[in-house]
Structure 1
Amino acid sequence: MDQRLSLITLGVEDISRARCFYEDGLGWSPVSATEDVCFYQLPGLALGLFGRAALAEDARRPIDGTFSGVTIAINEPSREGVDATFAEALAAGAEALKAPEPVFWGGYSGYFADPDGHVWEVAHNPGSVIGPDGATTFGG
């Protein structure tokens, strides 16, 4: 598995309120946004905002004290890359939460938990570009 991060997703109670904070308060500009999810490009990775309940459902992990509603993601350039990285994580001792599958936003992703319960997503997003240095650019 490549040693890199692509995306940190924050589960939020209210997407509109969260967007006001990041956009109006901090002056950030989204690269992609719907009423359900929003992405901000950062140097080399992105920050995503996703409804907390929807994120818990997507990760198949309830927000109950063992899951805070924050996920870390590794994006791969293909579905096959997602499958290989997911299998590698499981072989290393990760717990499968959701096997990779096509998802509503047009990509392909799965979730696993590391031995401490931190939730990782492995995804292929056809709207992102992964550079030679592993930096992921969304909306590109």
Structure 2
Amino acid sequence: MQPRISMIILGVRDLAVPIKFYAEGLGFPRMDSPPEVAFFTLNGTWLGLYGREALAEDACISPQGSGFETFTLAHNVHSEAEVDDVIRLAEQAGATITKRPEKVFWGGYSGYFQDPDGHLWEVAHNPLFWVGPEDDKDVR
């Protein structure tokens, strides 16, 4: 097996709300897709949005759940200033900021936001770990 994550699919309550958040608010490029799902092209993977109930049904589990869902999505950037920029962009798009950016115990700088469905995103600058092309400095 070659380890990789090909696509991240988030179960959402009302497809129109997160589509607006990710496409218009954060500037994620949307792909053509059937009306019951939305796909966005990311650098090296894709993000999918699908109805929470339908996704739970497809996985044969209950759609009920609350609180921390046991994972976060992480977006690593080049600098502390870029962390601030992305958090500000997310907040302007309607995200709930759960942790304002700050220096953290592991030597980096990070903050957290929740998208309209409560999915947690960490935005971080880690001076020891960067994945992405050197010229990729666009926060959107």
Larger Rg: 2
Query: What TM-score, normalized by structure 1, do the two folds share?
Result: 0.49
Greater relative contact order (CA < 8 Å, ≥ 6 in sequence): 1
Judging by fraction of residues, say which structure has more strand. Answer: 1
